[in-house]
Structure 1
Amino acid sequence: MDGQATVFIDGEAGTTGLGIRERLRGLPVTVRSIAAEHRKDPSARRDMMESVDIVVLCLPDAASRDAAGMVESIARAGGRAPRILDASTAFRVDPDWVYGFPEMGQGQADAIRTSRRVSNPGCYPTGAIGLLRPLVLAGMMSPDHPVTINAVSGYSGGGRTMIEAHERDGGPAFDLYGLTLEHKHVPEITRYSGLSRVPVFVPSVGHFPQGMIVSIPLHLDMLAGPVTGADLRAVLAAFYAESDLVSVEDAGPGLIADTLAGTDRMELRVHANDARRQAVLTARLDNLGKGASGAAIQNIALMLGLAPSARPA
């Protein structure tokens, strides 16, 4: 782009918004803000949106829909409508929006680069899709495979109430939730993994601020052909061979969830016991990094024509 690009974060006071603002210091952009007393003023927000290149929405779903509608109204009125990156779940399975997971496949980064509306992926889906999609595309896993996804995240992704609960003395050590099996991340996991059967998704929160592990157990005999753990690893390694942020690592006897806290990377592993014909796939990432703010920076860099590696992981 000519000159320095401008970015407005609508909802910059939240956890994701703060993380994006901090990371934007590493990109050649100007971040514009509205005075705190005017952040809910529709006129002030509209004026700000018309003055910038990209609006990043860090809002609840309903508020994101309203904000996206405001941008559309600017365009209809012939104004200078910005491009949008939305961090909520409002548009992640909307066919009119591009899903902001550049490593998802060939052409995805280019689609993000040219789109006017990009939806930032969820933290849990980033790990689940990262593990499942390559196997489905390779024909190693059938789209109707009965998948179970278990995941544990740091409490920082749960918002102010959860953060306060965990940072008080006696905060919960472990919280298993989503047991209605209607978690809002399931639609994007299903769609972008390439599954036709809705997976069983069991999320949880641990008593640590940042970090995440997504794990998927597999019976190898239920996959296509005589699959081994090495075969699974080879498919994942080939799929992400050119990625700077997603890597396939050697498996060990255990895994600590918060090792990648503060980074924008994701590590994938295949923990296999070929004699038992069993495996567990794992993705480790920072729920606020590659799972939220870090992914947003990667998408902003693409949308502005900047190198995705402009900010070190």
Structure 2
Amino acid sequence: MKPKIFIDGEHGTTGLQIRTRLAGRDDLDMLSIPQAERRNRALREDMLKEADIAILCLPDEASREAVAMLDGVNSTRIIDTSTAHRVHPDWAYGFAEMTAGMRDKIAGARLVANPGCYPTGAIALIRPLVEAGILPAGYPVSVNAVSGYTGGGKQMIAQMEDEDREDHIGAPHFLYALTLGHKHVPEMQTHGLLARRPIFAPSVGRFPQGMIVQLPLHLADLNGTPTLADLHAALERHYAGQEIVEVVSPEDSARLARLDPTALAGTDGMKLFVFGTEGTGQANLVALLDNLGKGASGAAVQNMALMLGKAA
């Protein structure tokens, strides 16, 4: 019997991307609600309970409501793409490459919290260095990032693309979360194993999909005063054998004069770079990904595959 998959919120940005990725799959039985019935609570509850895996593509409160509908229904496993459960101890964090054993933890979990797009890039850089003993847990981490505007969902897409809207955004690039209170910060701190709250400065560019996340470091403040080569080696060891996460070689990194945030748009991969000049005592670690790929829908499909016992 084919596993039944229900995307609760399939008409939103992330849900549509997941649906596209699963289109044409003859090994899955896709359950669906017509858009006109998307607010039909009874129908949603029936679909949630019928599914083997429910993928929640909803705002935080609606995700909590959906999980409550399934209280005691252990036959339905859940992948939640919202922020609601990403630091909850009862939920597996759905970043398969984050640390040893995560694939097995996700594969065996009933509850999986899909990572955020910015935290995926940040944690991908931070976690290996903390685990290797290079980055002190108390280091004053700063994360700077730019995302494609699809990360803001349908409302921001309309604001960026529809010039007739009163709230149209005409800027080519803008900084936001100016109070340093972005909802992804707890996720970065918890899964980055950081003792101090990181400073996170996100921004949005006038391009639909793509993302760059930067982690600048002072090498003298790290354990052992590592070189750029040491940082690269730590990342390479951590992600050895991985296909989705690629650590770009120092030689290939050195050939780059600029980095395009859209370079991986439309893919589910992520590339990690170590930039800097030996002797300056500084490094800039960079993650390049698609905010709707490995940063959202691609990760959800990867987690679904692991939960179904398939390679991912």
* TM-score category (smaller protein): over 0.9
How far did residue 43 of structure 1 move? 1.6
1:265-288: CA deviation from partner (whole Å, max 9, x where unpaired): 000000021211111000000000
Task: Determine the C-alpha separation between the residues in 2 that align with 1:199 and 1:35.
Answer: 42
Alignment correspondent of 2:166: none
Are 2:103 and 1:99 aligned? Answer: no
Task: Determine the C-alpha separation between the residues in 1 that align with 2:32 and 2:39.
Answer: 12
Are 2:305 and 1:301 aligned? Answer: yes
How far did residue 73 of structure 1 move? 4.7
| Cα contact 1:126–1:291 (8 A) shared by 2 | yes
What residue identity is the alignment partner of 1:19?
Q
Are 2:273 and 1:269 aligned? Answer: yes
Alignment correspondent of 1:11: 9
Alignment correspondent of 1:224: 223
Task: Determine the C-alpha separation between the residues in 2 that align with 1:200 and 1:26.
Answer: 42
- Aligned match of 2:296 in 287, 292, 295? 292
Count of matched residue positions in the alignment of Structure 1 and Structure 2: 301
Of all paired residues, the percent bearing the same amino acid is: 54
Are 2:78 and 1:84 aligned? Answer: yes
Please list every run of 5 or more consecutive structure 1 residues that lacks an aligned counterpart in the other structure: 76-80, 309-313
Residues 120-139 of structure 1: pairs in structure 2 closer than 5 A:
120-139=114-133
How far did residue 39 of structure 1 move? 2.1
1:206-241: CA deviation from partner (whole Å, max 9, x where unpaired): 011100000011111111113100000000011111
Residues 1-313 of structure 1: pairs in structure 2 closer than 5 A:
3-25=1-23, 27=25, 28-75=27-74, 81-169=75-163, 171-249=170-248, 250-251=252-253, 252-308=256-312
Task: Determine the C-alpha separation between the residues in 1 that align with 2:12 and 2:199.
Answer: 30
1:68-106: CA deviation from partner (whole Å, max 9, x where unpaired): 00011545xxxxx31000000000000010000000111
1:234-271: CA deviation from partner (whole Å, max 9, x where unpaired): 00011111111000113233211000000000000000
| Cα contact 1:20–1:297 (8 A) shared by 2 | yes
| Cα contact 1:165–1:172 (8 A) shared by 2 | no
| Cα contact 1:10–1:56 (8 A) shared by 2 | yes
Task: Determine the C-alpha separation between the residues in 2 that align with 1:49 and 1:216.
Answer: 39
The two structures have a TM-score, normalised by structure 2, of: 0.94
Flag the 1:168–1:48 CA change in 2: closer, same or farther, 3 A.
closer
Q: CA RMSD in A?
A: 1.2
* Corresponding residue SS for 2:144: strand
Task: Determine the C-alpha separation between the residues in 2 that align with 1:100 and 1:226.
Answer: 32
What residue identity is the alignment partner of 1:20?
I
| Cα contact 2:11–2:35 (8 A) shared by 1 | no
How far did residue 166 of structure 1 move? 1.6
The two structures have a TM-score, normalised by structure 1, of: 0.93
How far did residue 168 of structure 1 move? 3.4
How far did residue 25 of structure 1 move? 2.6
